[in-house]
Structure 1
Amino acid sequence: MTEDPFTAVEQAIWKARPHGVPAAAAKILTTHFGADHAVTLLVDYRMAHLVPVGADTGPDAGPDAGPDAGGDAEPVPLDATFEGRAFATQQTIVEPVDDGAACRLHLPLTVHGERIGVLSVHLPGPSRPEDHPALEAVATMVARALKVADGHTDVYRRARRRVRMTLAAEIQWDLLPGRSCESDEFSLAGQLEPAYAVWGDNFDWSLDAEHLTVTVTNGTGRGIEAALLTQLTVSALRNARRSGAGLVDQAVLADEILHAHHRGARTAATLLLRFELGTGRVTAVDAGSPLVYRLRGTTVEPVTLDAQLPLGMFGDTRYVEQEFWLQPGDRLVLVSDGVHQAQSPGGEVYGASALPRALRQTRLQGPPEAVRTLIRELLHYHENTELADDAVIVCLDWTGKSGQTAARPAGD
């Protein structure tokens, strides 16, 4: 190992073309860290597999080798694999090879809480814990470079899709801010389902120094019409939010814009939440069908909000802001009507008892894994038949600021 490999690592990774980041990372790991080879695996859209990119990662791989180079490696299931454990736990996992004579280190690739995938590094000798911090630092650099590169090439998105994606789903995925995010005060994750054919359901969030804003939107209709409606809704909400508007004004502006375009024929059921990071106070505008459930300890209960008209129905609706409070340790789960109104083949509504039961079962999982579990439970509830409606699940764990002492209403 060289005395200062990190300068070489940074130069190699950031000089690589967008599609060549995995190969550049692998080459630097073989040259400066003694690895036999390394491979970057990205999580697929359904969050079921880790898909290898830049498979040709030996010391002879060129600096611009693309993610399809090599092409022989198979996707790795997230469940019951070493790679999947690294992704799920967000910890470095050691996989012994050749009875411990060699090893693979599986390193999470994560940026600001967004889980991108796993960097798997094959080392010629047994694991040495003292080497892990350096390799974890390399994984952090690789994750950040991949996040930037993803906006300049299609190759990573091609790799992450395992079947053909509809145009409506393409629009919805491109709208997302990410699939997970975390800060000192919270951890947050969301998922769309069915991943490759979602229509009008979407979620959005934005974080600044004092607030987190989260929205869940369900555009009416199906296919491309629903996707375009949701795209217009999310863009209108973002435009208002980025102009400094509060929740009420965000809803009012989106309502006006949707009505001007569709004259009430198409509406977007939307839930808007704004979290005060310093206090745990949550303000809300409930403009439609998405619901909020709170898990406090082992108790699951809906957060009761006064339902208001969906965005776009009349164009002059006056929305009202409501509030509730969170305590450290609380979990919020936001679901679209494709979740809480889903019916089993026998006609039982999912939100009646199965959803609260599933929420309690996830209380020991972090939000990203909880969302995966809830999606699996939803599909199982349908007995693995096709969903009748697309669905959004967003999970937020609230830790709050250290020493948070702001007053809150009794009993909340």
Structure 2
Amino acid sequence: MTESEPRPDRYLRCQRAMFEAPAHALIDALAAALREHYGVLAVDLLLADYELNVLCPVIGVAEPVPVTGSAAGQVFVDRRAIVTEGPEGVRLLLPAAARGDAAGVLILDLEARPGPSELDELVFLATALGHDLRAADSVTDRYRNARRRTALTVAAEMQWHLLPGRSCRKPEFALAGQLEPAYSVCGDNFDWAAEDDHLVLTVTNGHGTGIEASLLTVLAVTAMRNARLASPRISDHAALADQAVYAQHAGRRHLSSLLLRFDLDTGMVAAVDAGSPMVLRLRGAELTQVNLEAQLPLGMFESTVYVEQTFRAEPGDRLIVLSDGVHESPYGNQRYTEQGRLRQTLVGTRRLPPAEAVRAVLADHNVFRQGVPLDDDAAIVVVDWAGRQQP
């Protein structure tokens, strides 16, 4: 660290280095700036793989680091910095995240423990890196490639490009989602848009396999996004997606979707259940299913009229949305929802943040199947509702 350099100037120089760097050299430019202006000895960057099982190296360490049971994994899950001290110096593990969506972990080695203001600067630089990594993915393949432990299918490539992210956080809520099998998913999807006064969330249960299933989901999700810009009513979003799918396939192909619109001020939720995704509500230790009237899947018939239903989310509620690849998943003669297994898992993970709860449910789902690969896509989204604090 250059002691004579003013603190704000040092911080801004590192930010400027990232801003001016080519997308593929983003982390290299930041690493050089951190060495020059903060005296950092070594820089590592780890990015989460598509299955959220390991953190993959971009620079620095040579081997992937498991998310479970590692300090870097704890930082990735909790989105909180960790400082460790040893005979060789101090190590900072900092979350690289953008609006609650964690990309990975920035690891810095220093000679001495940083002071509070210096630590704050480094935490903010890691956050800035998280934002820049999101933007860089549209320009370079370097970071996407680092996250892959094996090749994605073409259908899976389409689905991952369609996602808005894997987690999102605002004062009123925190949510996270995941698709499985991560490297070959083809039809299931989740989508959201967070605005000043509302959150729109959709979970789509795909139909079919391979590229055809992925194309069908892309059509439906794109139609719902298009409708979202024209109307606040999710019944209109469902209707436009229904029309788009029917116009293309004339009822031969259709898909199921759940559409939710949360009012951030009141907690009222408008819902359209166009098929099979299941909504569960965990209030305290009580887990119940949110009973919604099932309506026709998108694209089954021409000009279907969809009706919104409502329920209320209370502060402290956790909502869990599952596609049928989770709640209808069979192994032998049993389904995952039978004998209380899903209930036990959801209640048991109540204190975990949404992203970690998603990982825990999918891990238990894999144990239930005894490691047998999924024969259907699985999507899960967890929403922790806090509501808006009234002045």
TM-score for both structures, normalised by structure 1 = 0.91
| Cα separation, 2, equivalents of 1:118 and 1:331 | 27
| 3-state SS, counterpart of residue 124 of structure 2 | helix
Deviation at residue 96 of structure 1 after TM alignment: 2.8
Deviation at residue 403 of structure 1 after TM alignment: 3.4
| Cα separation, 2, equivalents of 1:363 and 1:127 | 35
Percent identity over the alignment is 46
Please point out which of 314, 333, 340 is paired with 1:347: 333
Q: Does 1:89 align with 2:78?
A: yes
Structure 1: stretches of 5+ with no match in the other structure: 56-71, 405-412
Structure 1 residues 41-52: aligned runs within 5 Å: 41-52=46-57
| Cα separation, 2, equivalents of 1:217 and 1:347 | 26
| Cα separation, 2, equivalents of 1:182 and 1:252 | 29
Taking only aligned residues, the RMSD between alpha carbons, in angstroms, comes to 1.3
What corresponds to 2:389 in structure 1? 402
What corresponds to 1:108 in structure 2? 95
Please point out which of 185, 193, 196 is paired with 1:198: 185
Q: Which amino acid aligns with 2:110?
A: L
Deviations 1:282-331 (A, max 9, x none): 00000000010000000111100000110000022111110000110000
Please point out which of 119, 139, 144 is paired with 2:106: 119
Deviations 1:252-309 (A, max 9, x none): 1111110111111111100000000000000000000001000000011110000011
Deviation at residue 241 of structure 1 after TM alignment: 0.6
| Cα separation, 2, equivalents of 1:142 and 1:259 | 43
Moved beyond 6 Å, runs of 4+: none
Please point out which of 341, 348, 357 is paired with 1:361: 348
| Cα separation, 2, equivalents of 1:236 and 1:91 | 37
Please point out which of 3, 20, 38 is paired with 1:15: 20
Q: Does 1:140 align with 2:145?
A: no
Q: Which amino acid aligns with 2:310?
A: E
What corresponds to 1:178 in structure 2? 165
| 3-state SS, counterpart of residue 174 of structure 2 | strand
Deviation at residue 131 of structure 1 after TM alignment: 3.2
Contact 1:258 1:315 in 2 (8 A): no
Deviation at residue 130 of structure 1 after TM alignment: 5.2
Please point out which of 225, 248, 251 is paired with 2:212: 225
Q: Which amino acid aligns with 1:86?
A: V
What corresponds to 1:5 in structure 2? 10
| Cα separation, 1, equivalents of 2:178 and 2:103 | 14
Deviations 1:47-106 (A, max 9, x none): 111111133xxxxxxxxxxxxxxxx611111111111111112111123333xx412100
Q: Does 1:378 align with 2:383?
A: no
Please point out which of 9, 32, 40 is paired with 1:27: 32
| Cα separation, 1, equivalents of 2:159 and 2:350 | 28
| Cα separation, 1, equivalents of 2:269 and 2:212 | 32
Contact 1:22 1:39 in 2 (8 A): no
Q: Does 1:251 align with 2:199?
A: no
What corresponds to 1:77 in structure 2? 66
Q: Which amino acid aligns with 1:304?
A: N
Deviation at residue 125 of structure 1 after TM alignment: 2.9
| Cα separation, 2, equivalents of 1:94 and 1:229 | 47
Q: Which amino acid aligns with 1:153?
A: T
TM-score for both structures, normalised by structure 2 = 0.96
What corresponds to 1:40 in structure 2? 45
Deviation at residue 127 of structure 1 after TM alignment: 5.7
What corresponds to 2:139 in structure 1? 152
| 3-state SS, counterpart of residue 62 of structure 2 | coil
Deviations 1:181-240 (A, max 9, x none): 011100000000110010100000001111100001112101111000000000010011
Contact 1:257 1:315 in 2 (8 A): no
Of 17-26 and 139-148, the range deviating more from structure 2: 139-148
Structure 2: stretches of 5+ with no match in the other structure: none
Deviation at residue 142 of structure 1 after TM alignment: 1.4
Aligned pairs, how many? 385
Contact 2:280 2:288 in 1 (8 A): yes
Contact 2:43 2:59 in 1 (8 A): no
